[in-house]
A and B are shown apart, each in its own frame.
Chain A
Amino acid sequence: MQQIGYIEIQGLRLRDDPARDACFQVVRSDAEMHEYDGAGDVARRELIHRHMSNEVTSLDIAAQMLVDFPDAPWELKMELARQCWDESRHVMVLYRRLLELGGKKGEFPISTFEWSVTSALDDIAGRLATQNRTFEAGAMDVVGGLARGFRDIEDEKTAAVLDGILADEIQHVRFANRWIKKLAQLDRRVLLKVAMAIRFLSEANARLVWKPGEVNAVGKVLRDPKETIPAVNIEDRKLAEFSDDEIAVILRQAGFRSLIPEEKGLTAEQ
């Protein structure tokens, strides 16, 4: 049976890349990405292209969990199967928007870092903690802010796409939170697995993240990663069933910046 193997990068055993269309250039560092400053046409297309690629990677990760953990509880597998459908829709809706903006598949480099880290883990709770509870929850913060940003520049179409995606992501994070708790109740060693997974992710981040002042492939000076932590999407994190204590920790990491609900008429970060 065909399977994707492992590679060693900077002393870490990561999962080798999932298959991608030949038109895509897969890179391994943020500095090789084409992230632009501002909200010009190219910057917008790159951002949508990047998110489209991340959704493909999320699909790969959820699908691989179904393959690697056939003995997982059926209800959890149903959630993962549903996530596959959601991520598939997200890819296509972002692709549709990319084409509307004159972009094309493979226009910019992409990264599959989330796959390489998550799918290297050998237990399902660790993968849920890394992919759903960390990467996807982080994406809730990022996407919440981006949707507002697109509204600010009167790109309502892209904002609506991102907002629709965000609603789905809440459930992906919520089911992971619920299942990690359930699995830990059945076997306390699951908590150790989760802690080890998070430590592995931190280690991967520390070794592979860009250095402050590094210049990316299109000339953008990359700021200190600590300065680029997005404002926390408290409202959606609560819906995803993060506890108040957990949100407090995340807020502290983000310098106490949070997204304020839009219905209150505020759009700025606090």
Chain B
Amino acid sequence: MNVKQRAEAIGTFRYIEVRLMETAALWVPLTAEMEVKVLLGRHIFDFAQHADWLGKRAFELRQPEHFTRKANDAYVGLLDSLKETHSTEEKLSSLYDVVLPGLVRRYEAYVAETDALLDAPSVVILQRIATDLRRQIEEGTRLRTELGIGTPSVNVLRQKEGAIATVVA
């Protein structure tokens, strides 16, 4: 990857983190369960911090500060579909069982592909974010177990996510 390609990827990842922040924020007042609201409230700030780190990194790659690049149509469609989920079960499964694990894989793929020395600042940021995302997944899973919230089938969404080779437009 050259500098431009790296910046485009980082800007796209920022777009995704901002969209996740907005989605979690949308769900907070719509979600009845207090403990779930609280979980989402904590994760809103995680996503915001990720977006902030990525925005600063993009600036170092010759882009404007907070550079954000819309993901490709297929992935935007996937993110849009989160806004249409209704039940708490569906919301949590979509986010914690599909989107976040998929994102971890995508960040790991970037880290594997880029020059780990030349692009070390991006690598460090993405590794930190991946650690956060794994924690979020674990917290989402644990809370559902504690509250007895079901895990509906999200196979359709999972297939859609898996079919998107790259998020960069």
Binding site for B on A (CB under 8 A): 1-2, 4, 18-22, 56, 59-60, 63-64, 66-67, 70, 74, 77-78, 81-82, 84-85, 87-89, 91-92, 95, 105, 115, 119
The reply to whether A63 and B28 form a contact with Cβ atoms under 8 Å apart is: yes
> With contacts A59-B38, A81-B21, A85-B44 known, is A1 near B30, CB below 8 A?
no
- In the complex, which residues 17-51 of chain B have their Cβ closer than 8 Å to any Cβ of chain A? 21-22, 24-26, 28-34, 37-42, 44-45, 47-49
The reply to whether B25 and A67 form a contact with Cβ atoms under 8 Å apart is: yes
The reply to whether A22 and B48 form a contact with Cβ atoms under 8 Å apart is: no
Output the residue of B29, B33, B45 with the most chain A CB within 10 A.
B29
Sample (11) of A-B pairs whose CB atoms are under 8 Å apart: A1-B83, A2-B26, A18-B28, A21-B34, A59-B37, A60-B29, A81-B44, A84-B45, A88-B42, A115-B29, A119-B29
The reply to whether A19 and B31 form a contact with Cβ atoms under 8 Å apart is: yes
Contacts of B22 in A (CB 8 A): 66-67, 70
> With contacts A78-B48, A81-B44 known, is A66 near B25, CB below 8 A?
yes
| B interface SS class | helix
> With contacts A63-B44, A66-B21 known, is A78 near B52, CB below 8 A?
yes
Binding site for A on B (CB under 8 A): 21-22, 24-26, 28-34, 37-42, 44-45, 47-49, 52, 55, 66, 83-84, 86
> With contacts A1-B26, A82-B45, A91-B38 known, is A21 near B84, CB below 8 A?
no
| A interface SS class | helix
